Structure 1
Amino acid sequence: MISVVVADDEQLVRAGIRGVLETAEDIMVVAEAASGSEALRLVHRHQPDILLLDIHMPGGDGLAAAEMVCKHVPATAVAMLTTFTYDRYVQRALHSGAVGFLLKDMEPRALIDAVRAIAAGDAFLAPRVTRSLLTTFRDRDPRRGNRARARLAGLTDLERKVLRLLAQGLANAEIARSCRMSEGSVKAHVSRMLVKLDCGNRVQLAAIAYDAEDNY
C-alpha cells in the first residue's frame, strides 16, 4: 500500500486529490495538511511514502517544507503539486530534492500513475513542466552547458544512453526494454550515476542532461 500525505491550503483541493487517489486500491491518503509546518509534523508522524505538497501555503511555503522533508525525512518522496509551471519554482523544487512536479489540472488517471511511478522510485514531471524545463535549458548560459558536459565525461557509453532515456521521462521498465537489460541493471546504472554526478535523485540527473544536450 502506498501511503500519501496531501498538503494544500485549500480544503476542496485536498478533498479532490484524496478522492482521486483513493479510487486506487493500492494508494491510501493517511493525512492532510493545510500548511507547510503542518505538513512537516504529519510527515514525521506518519512517515509516508509520498508527500504531495502545494508550493504556496501559509505557515512556511511548500518549497521550504520540501527542503526540510528531503533533508530530514529522506525516505519520504516529495512531489510538488501546483498550478504553476514557472521555471524558477520548478528549478528550486528540483534542487531541493523533490522528485515530482505535478499540475493540479492533470487528469485523475495521470495523477494516480504519477504517484505509483514516484513510489516505485521514478521521477515524474508533468508534460507541461517538462516542456517548460526544455525551453529554459535550450536558452541556457553556454557556460552551464560546458560544465554539465564536463560532469558527464566520466560516464560510460551505456550510462549515457540510460541517462538520455531517463531525461526523456522514461521509467525504469521502459529504459530496460529499450536497452535490452533488466530493470535491476537499469537501477544499478542510475545509482552509479547518482554517485558519479553527486545528485540526490533522478530529476537532478535529468536536469544535468538537459543542460548538457539540446536534443534531450
Structure 2
Amino acid sequence: MLVVDATIGVGRRVTSQLCALGAAVAVVGAGHPGRGDDAATSAAFLCKELAGIGLVALPYQADVERPETFRALPGQIAADLGPVTAGVVVVPSESGGGELARVFRTLSGAVAASLPAGAEHIEVDTGHDEAGQESAARAVVRRLTRSACRRRAERPGTTRLFSRDFASSVVRGSEMSIRIVLAGDHQLVLEAFAETLNGVDGLEVVGLATSAEAVGPAVERHRPTVLLLGETTMGGTALRVATDVRSRHPRCGVALMVGAATPSVVDRAVAAGALGVVPKNARLPQLVTTLMGVAGGCLTVDPAMLRPVPVGEMSLSTREVDVLRLTAGGATVKEIAGELYLAAGTVRNVTSAAIKKLRGRNRFDAARIAGEQGLL
C-alpha cells in the first residue's frame, strides 16, 4: 500500500486509519529533494510518530519534477513490504494552485501505470474542511477494504492488503460488511450489543450464541468474518471454543472480550488462536478497531500487553546491530547498504534475521524493540 503526499490533511488521515487496521503503508513524501524540500523529512517524522503509538509505516521520497521516481516506487516498496496492492495519490486542490494540481495528476498517472496488475489506484482531492477531510479519508479506506473483499472472494487465499508480522493480509468477509457472530452468556446483553454494532458502518452482526454447543453451528451457518467471544462464555471455555473455531474455520478470525487484558491473558488468548483481545471496559471505537483488525487477519492487541522477549533470547550479531541502528535513524535499505558497504540483498537478509529474533512486525518495529531492550 502506498500513499503519496500522506503527511497532511486527507493523506495523513488515510495513512493513520490504514495503519490502525494493520496495513503495511508506504508514506511517500512528494517534493523537490534537490532543493532541500522537507517532504521526505515530514514522511519520516510521521512514520516515527505512528511508531510511537504502536503503528507501522515506512517513509519514502519522490521528486515531483522527476516522474520516473514515482514510477519506481512500487518496485522499491515491494522490496521492503511485498507487492503493492493499492496506490493512493493526494492531489492538491485547484483553489490552492491549478498548476500544482495538474502536476500531481500527471504524477498520479505515472503511479497508476506502474502499479501491479489488479492493484487499486485512487486519487483524492485535498480541497476539504476538517470534517470533509475525515469523511474523504474514511471513504478511501472503505473503498480499499471492499475492493480487497471482492478480490478475496474471487481468489481465496491470494489477495493481500492488511499486514500481520510484516506481511499483508486481506480484510476477509462480504463485499459490503464485516460479518460478526457474538457469543456470550446472556441473550438480552447480546441483543443490545448486536444493535450497537449494527449501527456502525461496515459491521453486521449475523448470529448470536449463548452456549458452547451453539457457537460451532452458528459459525457454520453464518460464515462470519469474525467471532467475538466473551471471556466467561460457556463457563470459561472460551479459549477452547476459539481453538476449535480456528481449526475448523480458518477464515474466521476470533476476538476475545476479557475482564482484564493482562499479558498472561493475552498470551493464552493468542496461543488459542485469537487475533484480537479487548477489555470489557473498552470504548466502542477500540472494539471496532479490534474487529476490523481481526477481520484483516491482524494481531490486534494493546502492544503494552505483549510480553517482551527476554534479553538473553535476543542475541544480535554485530552486523544486525549496525543495520538496526541505522534503521532506527530512518535510513533506507539503499542508504544502509552504502554506509556498511553491503549489497542491498545482504541488508535485507540481515534485517529479516533480526526481525525474526526480535519478533518485530518489520524492520522499523525490530529497531524499536532493540532500542527499548538496550541492544543498540
Q: In 2, Cα distance between the equivalents of 1:9 and 1:50?
A: 18
**SS of alignment partner, residue 31 of structure 1:** strand
Q: In 1, Cα distance between the equivalents of 2:331 and 2:187?
A: 44
**TM-score, normalised by the number of residues in structure 1:** 0.61
Kindly indicate whether structure 1 or structure 2 has the higher relative contact order, using CA contacts under 8 Å at least 6 residues apart: 1
The 1:105–1:11 alpha-carbon spacing in structure 2 relative to 1, beyond 3 Å, is farther
Structure 1, gaps ≥5 residues long: 165-177, 181-191
Can you list the C-alpha shifts for 1:81-105, whole angstroms capped at 9, x where unaligned?
Answer: 1222243322111112211001222
Q: In 2, Cα distance between the equivalents of 1:13 and 1:212?
A: 44
The 1:24–1:179 alpha-carbon spacing in structure 2 relative to 1, beyond 3 Å, is farther
Kindly indicate whether the alpha-carbon contact (under 8 Å) linking 1:35 and 1:61 is maintained by their aligned counterparts in 2: no
> In the alignment, what sits opposite 2:312?
146
**SS of alignment partner, residue 122 of structure 1:** coil
Kindly indicate whether the alpha-carbon contact (under 8 Å) linking 1:2 and 1:49 is maintained by their aligned counterparts in 2: yes
> In the alignment, what sits opposite 1:51?
227
**TM-score, normalised by the number of residues in structure 2:** 0.37
**Richer in helix (by share):** 1
Larger Rg computed on CA atoms: 2
- Distance apart, 1:214 and its partner CA: 3.5
- Match of 1:73, as an amino acid? H
The 1:91–1:19 alpha-carbon spacing in structure 2 relative to 1, beyond 3 Å, is same
> In the alignment, what sits opposite 1:214?
373
Kindly indicate whether the alpha-carbon contact (under 8 Å) linking 1:48 and 1:76 is maintained by their aligned counterparts in 2: yes
Q: In 1, Cα distance between the equivalents of 2:245 and 2:199?
A: 27
- Distance apart, 1:179 and its partner CA: 9.6
- Match of 2:290, as an amino acid? A
The 1:121–1:4 alpha-carbon spacing in structure 2 relative to 1, beyond 3 Å, is same
The 1:76–1:91 alpha-carbon spacing in structure 2 relative to 1, beyond 3 Å, is same
Kindly indicate whether the alpha-carbon contact (under 8 Å) linking 1:35 and 1:60 is maintained by their aligned counterparts in 2: no
Kindly indicate whether the alpha-carbon contact (under 8 Å) linking 1:90 and 1:101 is maintained by their aligned counterparts in 2: yes
Residues 1:88 and 2:264 aligned together: yes
Kindly indicate whether the alpha-carbon contact (under 8 Å) linking 1:20 and 1:112 is maintained by their aligned counterparts in 2: no
Kindly indicate whether the alpha-carbon contact (under 8 Å) linking 2:231 and 2:259 is maintained by their aligned counterparts in 1: no
Q: In 2, Cα distance between the equivalents of 1:108 and 1:60?
A: 24
Kindly indicate whether the alpha-carbon contact (under 8 Å) linking 1:146 and 1:212 is maintained by their aligned counterparts in 2: no
Match of 2:197 among 16, 21, 42: 21
> In the alignment, what sits opposite 2:275?
99
- Distance apart, 1:66 and its partner CA: 0.6
> In the alignment, what sits opposite 1:173?
none
**Counterparts of residues 26-175 of structure 1 (less than 5 Å):** 26-58=202-234, 61-125=237-301, 127=302, 130-131=303-304, 133=305, 136-137=307-308, 144-147=310-313, 149=314
Can you list the C-alpha shifts for 1:15-42, whole angstroms capped at 9, x where unaligned?
Answer: 2321221012321111011123311221
Q: In 2, Cα distance between the equivalents of 1:179 and 1:54?
A: 44
The 1:109–1:41 alpha-carbon spacing in structure 2 relative to 1, beyond 3 Å, is same
Structure 2, gaps ≥5 residues long: 1-176, 333-351
Regions of 4+ moved over 6 Å = 209-212
Kindly indicate whether the alpha-carbon contact (under 8 Å) linking 2:242 and 2:272 is maintained by their aligned counterparts in 1: yes
- Match of 1:214, as an amino acid? Q
Number of aligned residue pairs: give it: 166
- Match of 2:250, as an amino acid? P
- Match of 2:273, as an amino acid? G
Q: In 2, Cα distance between the equivalents of 1:123 and 1:15?
A: 27
